Structure 1
Amino acid sequence: MPKIFGVALGILTAIGGFLDVGDLVMSAVVGSRFGLALAWVIPVGVVGICLFAQMSGRVAAVSGRATFEIIRERLGPRIAAADLSASFFINLMTMTAEIGGVALAFQMATDVGRMWWIPLAAFGVWLVIWRVKFSIMENVTGLLGLCLIVFVVTVVALHPNWSDLARQAVRPAIPDSESATTYWYMAISLFGSSIAPYEVFFYSSGAIEEQWTQADLGKSRLNVMVGFPLGGILSLSIAACAAIVLWPSQIQVTALSQNVMPVVLAGGKLALAFAIVGIVAATFGAALETSLSAGYILAQFLGWTWGKFRRPAQAARFHIVMLLSIITGAAVLFTGVNPVTVTEYSVVFSAIALPLTYLPILIVANDPEYMGDQTNGRVTNMLSSVYLVVILAASLAAIPLMIVTGAGR
C-alpha cells in the first residue's frame, strides 16, 4: 500500500502538471482545428518531460537539494538570476491561468459568472497551501483528477471511424483552412504545454518535501513512468474528442466549456459531472503546484527557509511569496482578461524559456561532484541531447511564428 501511494506525486504532477489548463485547452484547440494531425506532439512531449523530470528527481534524491539551489551554485548568480526571472514570470502567468481555469470550471457547474469564482478559487488555493499537508494535497487532488478518464470513455462511446483517426495521426496533413506556419505554431504551443518548467520545479522540490534519498530512485522512476504517460493518454483523448465532434462541424475551441461538448454528447449529465470534477481537480492541482513553485524557486535562489513540511512561521517569506503571487494572479484576472487567452500565451512562453531550465539540469545530472555514480547513462544523455536540440529549435521559432500567425489566429 505505501508503494501505491508513493506514486501519488507522479499522478499529481501528471494530472495537475502535464494535464493542466494549458493542456486541457491546447489539446482541444488543436483537435478542433487540425483533427489528430498534431497528435504526434503529445508523445514527443511525454518522452521529453519524462527525461526532464527523471533527471530532476534523481538530482534532488542524490544531492538532497532542489533545482534552484544547485543552479545558483553550479552556474553562478548571474545565469541563475536570468533563469529565475524568466521562470518566475512564466510561472506567474501559468498560475493566473490555472486559477482562472478553476473559476471557469465552477462556472460550468453552476452557471455563476467566473468573476464570482475567482476570489473563492484564489482563497481555496491559499488555504490548502497554508493548512493542508503535502501528502493529503497530492493524494486527494491526484485521485479526483482521474475523473478525466471520462474523456477516454467518451472516445470509445462516440464510435468513431478508428481507421480515419489512425490515418490522421500517422499521416498528418494540414487542413486547407490552416497554414503551415499556424500548424507549427500550434505544435510549439502544444509542446510547451507538455513540458512546462514549473512541473519540474514542483517535482524536484516535492522530492525534498518527501525526503527522498538514493533508496527512492526506483520510486522516482515509477512516478515518472506512471504519471506522465497517463497525462499523455488523457491529453490524446481530449484531442480525439475534439477531432471527432468539433472538427467536422468547424467549431473552434475558444472557451473551456467547449471541451466538454463531446462528453455531454456521449454520456449526458453524468459524464459531464465526472468531466467537471476532473477539470476542477486538474486546474486546482496545477494552481497548487504553480503557487508552491513560486515560493520554491525564489526561496531556493535566495537561500530562504522553505517547504510545506515546515510550519508557516518557520518559513514566513516562502509563504508570503506564494500569497502575493496568488493575489497578483487573481488581480490580473479581475481586469477581465480571458483565462484561455492567458493560457495560450503562457504555454508559448514556456517553450521559449524552457532551455534556461532544461540545460542546467542536464549539466548537473552529468556532474559527478553532485551526483557521484548516479550521473546520466549513455542512453539518457543521447536522448537528452536530442531533446535539447528540439527545445532550442522550438524556443527560437516561437516568437517569429507568434508574430507571423498573430498568435495562431
Structure 2
Amino acid sequence: MSDPLPSSHGGLLRRLGTGIITGAADDDPSAIGTYASAGAKFGLGFLWIAPLLLPMMYVVTYLSAKLGQVYGKGLFAIIRDRYPRGLLFPLMAGAFVGNIIEAAANLGGMGAAMGLLVPIPIPLIVVAAATGIALFQLLGSYALIRTIFQGLTLALFAYVAAALLAKPDWGAVLHATFVPHVAFTSDMLAMVVACIGTSLSAYVYTWQSNQEVEEQIEAGRTMPEQRKGATRAELRHVRRDVLTGMIFSNVILYFIILSTGATLHANGQTDIASAAQAAQALQPLAGPAAKYLFALGVVGVGFLAVPVMTTGAAYDLVQGLGRTGDLNTPVPGAKLFYGTIVGVTVLAVGLNFLGFNPMRALVWSGIVQGFSVPPLLLMMMLMTNDRAVMGAQTNGWVTNLLGGATVLAAFAATACLVVSWCR
C-alpha cells in the first residue's frame, strides 16, 4: 500500500487537482465544434444530451484515474502488463493515430478562431501556435505545465457568458433540458454518436491515468513498486477530483449548445461550416462580445487541449513499446517520449495543409472517437475488476453498473448509426 500523498496547497486551482484539467481538455476545440454544430442544427432540443453524458463522463474518467492511482502506471503500460501484444498494438495504434488527427483538427480550429482576433493568415497561426506549445512541453517542468493548464481552464467560462448574452427563454431551456426530444434520424444519431465520442475521447483516458502517475512521481514515488496500491482516502480524493472536473466540463458543453441553439438555430442558421462562421454568426444575434468570447474560448482551451493530445500520444507509444517517459523527467532522460511529442506535433501541423475544413473535421473526429470508445472502455472495466491489477480496490457494484451501462450505451449509439447508414 502506498503512503498517502502530501496535502496540496497553493491556491484554489491547485487544490482542485488534475481533474479540472481533464474536464477542460474534454471540452477541446473538437468538442466545441461538435457541440456548437449540435446547437445550431437542433437548437434547444438537444440540451438533454448534457445530463445524459455526465454520468458517462464521470465513470470513464474515474476508471482511468483509479487505474493510474492503484496500479501506479499509465493505461497502456497496464494493458501491456496484462494482455497479449495482439490486443495491445491495435488499441495503441488506434489511440495514437486518433490523437494525431484530433490534435490536427484542434490546431485548425484554433487557427480559424484566432484569425477572427488578429489579421494573420491561418496557416501561420497554426505553425506558430504548434511551435509555442511544443517548446512549452519540452522546456517547462511538470509543476509549471500543470499550473498553466489549470489557469487555462478559465477560458471556458467564455461560453457561459456567450450563452447569457443570447438572452434565451429560460423556461424553454429548462423544459428542453429535462424533457428529451429525440428524432431517430441519421443526422441526430450521427450527432449523438459524435457527442458521446468527443466527450468520452480516448485521449481523456490516457491523460487522466498518467496524471495520477505524474502526481505520484512528483511526490517522490519514482519507482512503479512505490506507487502500487492506494488508500481509501486517496481514492475518495480521486473521486472528488474527477467529479469536479466532469461537472465543470458538462456545464461548459451545456452552455455551448445553449449559446448556438438560442441564436443560430433560432434564426435559421443550422449548418456551421467553419469555426469563424460560428463565432461571426453570433455577433448580430447576441452582440459583438459573444463573437469574441466564442473565439477566445476556442483559442484558450486549444492551448490546453493540443498538448494534452500530443503528450497523450507520447504516453501511448512509449508505454505500448515498454519504454519509460513522463513530464517529470527532463528531455535527455526521455528522448523517445519528447521526440514523439515533437513528431506528433509536426504531423498534426502537416495535416492542416491538406485543405480540410476545420469545423467539419472536428465533428467527424468526434464521430471517429465514438467508434473507438466502446472497446477501450470495456478494457478499463475488465482491468478495474482484475484483482491482479487492483488488489482489494476492485470496482463496487455501483461503478460496475454505471460503467456497464456506459459501455452498452456507447455500443448502442454506434450500432444505431451504422444501421442508419445502411438504409
TM-score (norm 2): 0.88
Instruction: Give the conservation status (yes or no) of the 8 Å contact 1:51–1:380.
Output: yes
The amino acid that maps onto 2:244 is: V
The equivalent position to 2:262 in structure 1, one of 238, 244, 249, is: 244
Instruction: Give the conservation status (yes or no) of the 8 Å contact 1:144–1:278.
Output: no
Q: Distance in 1 between matches of 2:409 and 2:63?
A: 17
Instruction: Give the conservation status (yes or no) of the 8 Å contact 1:11–1:228.
Output: yes
Do structure 1's residue 200 and structure 2's residue 205 form an aligned pair? yes
The answer to which of 181-190 and 268-277 deviates more is 268-277
Displacement of 1:261 in angstroms is 4.7
Do structure 1's residue 349 and structure 2's residue 357 form an aligned pair? no
From the superposition, tell whether residues 45 and 172 of structure 1 become closer, same or farther in structure 2 (CA, over 3 Å). closer
From the superposition, tell whether residues 64 and 344 of structure 1 become closer, same or farther in structure 2 (CA, over 3 Å). same
Instruction: Give the conservation status (yes or no) of the 8 Å contact 2:50–2:254.
Output: yes
The amino acid that maps onto 2:356 is: V
Displacement of 1:42 in angstroms is 2.4
Report the counterpart of residue 221 of structure 2 in structure 1. Answer: none
Report the counterpart of residue 216 of structure 2 in structure 1. Answer: 211
From the superposition, tell whether residues 154 and 99 of structure 1 become closer, same or farther in structure 2 (CA, over 3 Å). closer
Report the counterpart of residue 187 of structure 2 in structure 1. Answer: 182
Q: Give the SS at the match of 1:211.
A: helix
- Gap regions ≥5 residues in structure 2: 1-8, 218-226
Identity %: 22
- For residues 218-297 of structure 1, the aligned pairs below 5 Å read 218-251=236-269, 252-261=271-280, 264=283, 268=287, 272-297=291-316
Q: Distance in 1 between matches of 2:110 and 2:135?
A: 15
- For residues 8-407 of structure 1, the aligned pairs below 5 Å read 8-16=17-25, 18-173=26-181, 180-211=185-216, 214-215=230-231, 216-251=234-269, 252-261=271-280, 264=283, 268=287, 272-401=291-420
Q: Give the SS at the match of 2:134.
A: helix
Displacement of 1:259 in angstroms is 3.7
Do structure 1's residue 7 and structure 2's residue 16 form an aligned pair? yes
Displacement of 1:256 in angstroms is 1.3
From the superposition, tell whether residues 199 and 243 of structure 1 become closer, same or farther in structure 2 (CA, over 3 Å). same
Q: Give the SS at the match of 2:68.
A: helix
Displacement of 1:272 in angstroms is 4.8
The answer to which of 141-150 and 88-97 deviates more is 141-150
From the superposition, tell whether residues 156 and 56 of structure 1 become closer, same or farther in structure 2 (CA, over 3 Å). same
Q: Give the SS at the match of 1:96.
A: helix
From the superposition, tell whether residues 85 and 351 of structure 1 become closer, same or farther in structure 2 (CA, over 3 Å). same
Report the counterpart of residue 407 of structure 1 in structure 2. Answer: none
Aligned residues: 400
- Gap regions ≥5 residues in structure 1: 405-409
From the superposition, tell whether residues 298 and 118 of structure 1 become closer, same or farther in structure 2 (CA, over 3 Å). same
From the superposition, tell whether residues 328 and 231 of structure 1 become closer, same or farther in structure 2 (CA, over 3 Å). same
TM-score (norm 1): 0.91
Q: Distance in 2 between matches of 1:388 and 1:207?
A: 23
Q: Distance in 2 between matches of 1:81 and 1:158?
A: 47
